[in-house]
Amino acid sequence: MPELPEVETVVRALRDPLVGRTFSEFESYWPNQIVVPDDVEQLRARITGRTVTAISRRAKYIVMTLDGGEETLIVHLKMTGHLAVVPTSKPVHKHVRNLFRLTDGDDLRFRDMRKFGRIYLVTDPDEILAKLGPEPLEDPFTAEVFRQRIAGRTRIIKPLLLDQTIVAGIGNIYADESLFFAKIRPDRHADTLTKAETDLLWAGIRSSLQNGIDREGASIDTYVKPDGTKGDMQNAVSVFRRTGNPCYDCGTPIERIVLAQRSTHFCPICQK
């Protein structure tokens, strides 16, 4: 699933070709992706003639502000979603599930092989986004804020990091990388972490996510950038999907376990 760095990369790539453009039509080949409103014709009526004035990211959601400020188009890519502006003349890929026609001969196409992606057109973005935790790369997310958000929690730390109500945007890749940065085993219980370890984990979260953005995401499974090219973070991971390969710090083979039904990778020597 695209995580914060991958979604941020998509948002940055879409700003130039999408902001200022107007939707002229909407075609749906898989209406189940549309959550709000639960009606293709209503979405078509409400989106046609609206101009995208801004595009941003909140956690793993792509947020498009429409002219007038009364409605917001929100897209979640889920596992295999891909969003791109392409010429209308280009053949429609068989996995395109929903298509927004733009004026001047382009489309915003939502390709999604697994069909798990979601589309929301809402008057209040908080209908979808209100329960999300703080953005980990913004200044208000300090080490003290992070300590407060996990204080007293007895859950295992890896699944806790994946909880979007605790911290927004972290997924499987960057949770593993953050825990390696802090030298913390992913199956530790959160309430066993010392202040020093928690502060290191906070730093690891920010470092790993920023590295992912700088490298334009990790093309490990299906993720590619809007232009179809790969990100580079997969070439800079320390533990994720490196099972059996030597740890870069100590040479011990990286191990894999399953926590909360998610593959989890760590160094058994470096991470205590």
Is pLDDT at 1 greater than 90 in this prediction? no
Is pLDDT at 243 greater than 90 in this prediction? yes
User: What is the CATH number for 56?
Assistant: 3.20.190.10
Q: How confident is the model at residue 272 (pLDDT cuts 50, 70, 90)?
A: confident
The per-residue pLDDT for 237 is 98
Same-domain pairing of 202 and 149 = yes
CA nearest neighbour of 66 among 77, 55, 82, 76 = 55
Q: What is the mean pLDDT of residues 250-271?
A: 97
Is the whole-model pTM more than 0.95? Answer: yes
CA nearest neighbour of 7 among 130, 180, 164 = 164
The per-residue pLDDT for 68 is 86
Same-domain pairing of 90 and 49 = yes
- Alpha-carbon gap, residue 227 to 76, rounded angstroms: 18
Query: Residues near 46 by Cβ (< 8 Å), separated by ≥ 6?
Result: 37, 71, 121
Is pLDDT at 101 greater than 90 in this prediction? yes
Which residues does the annotation mark as catalytic? 2-3, 60, 262
8 Å CB contact between 243 and 255: yes
> Within a domain: residue 137?
no
Helices 195-214 & 4-18 angle (0-180, nearest 10) = 40
> Within a domain: residue 134?
no
> Within a domain: residue 138?
no
Q: Which domain holds residue 153?
A: 143-266
Same-domain pairing of 20 and 122 = yes
Q: What is the mean pLDDT of residues 161-174?
A: 98
Q: What is the mean pLDDT of residues 95-110?
A: 97
Same-domain pairing of 25 and 82 = yes
Question: In whole angstroms, how large is the CA radius of gyration of the chain?
Answer: 20
Question: How confident is the model over 113-128, as pLDDT tens digits?
Answer: 999 999 999 999 999 9
- Alpha-carbon gap, residue 78 to 81, rounded angstroms: 6
Last-in-domain residue among 129, 160, 184: 129
> Within a domain: residue 50?
yes
Same-domain pairing of 164 and 256 = yes
Q: What is the mean pLDDT of residues 156-185?
A: 98
Q: How confident is the model at residue 222 (pLDDT cuts 50, 70, 90)?
A: very high
Same-domain pairing of 166 and 228 = yes
Question: How confident is the model over 128-158, as pLDDT tens digits?
Answer: 999 999 999 999 999 999 999 999 999 999 9
8 Å CB contact between 76 and 60: yes
> Within a domain: residue 87?
yes
Q: How confident is the model at residue 69 (pLDDT cuts 50, 70, 90)?
A: confident
> Within a domain: residue 37?
yes
Is pLDDT at 172 greater than 90 in this prediction? yes
Last-in-domain residue among 86, 106, 129: 129
Same-domain pairing of 66 and 178 = no
Same-domain pairing of 12 and 121 = yes
> Within a domain: residue 136?
no
Question: How confident is the model over 44-67, as pLDDT tens digits?
Answer: 999 999 999 999 999 999 999 999
Share the mean pLDDT of the chain.
Answer: 97
The per-residue pLDDT for 267 is 98
> Within a domain: residue 271?
no
The per-residue pLDDT for 74 is 98
User: What is the CATH number for 197?
Assistant: 1.10.8.50
Same-domain pairing of 33 and 125 = yes
Domain count for the chain, please give it: 2
Last-in-domain residue among 129, 160, 188: 129
Is pLDDT at 83 greater than 90 in this prediction? yes
Q: What percent of the chain has pLDDT over 90?
A: 98
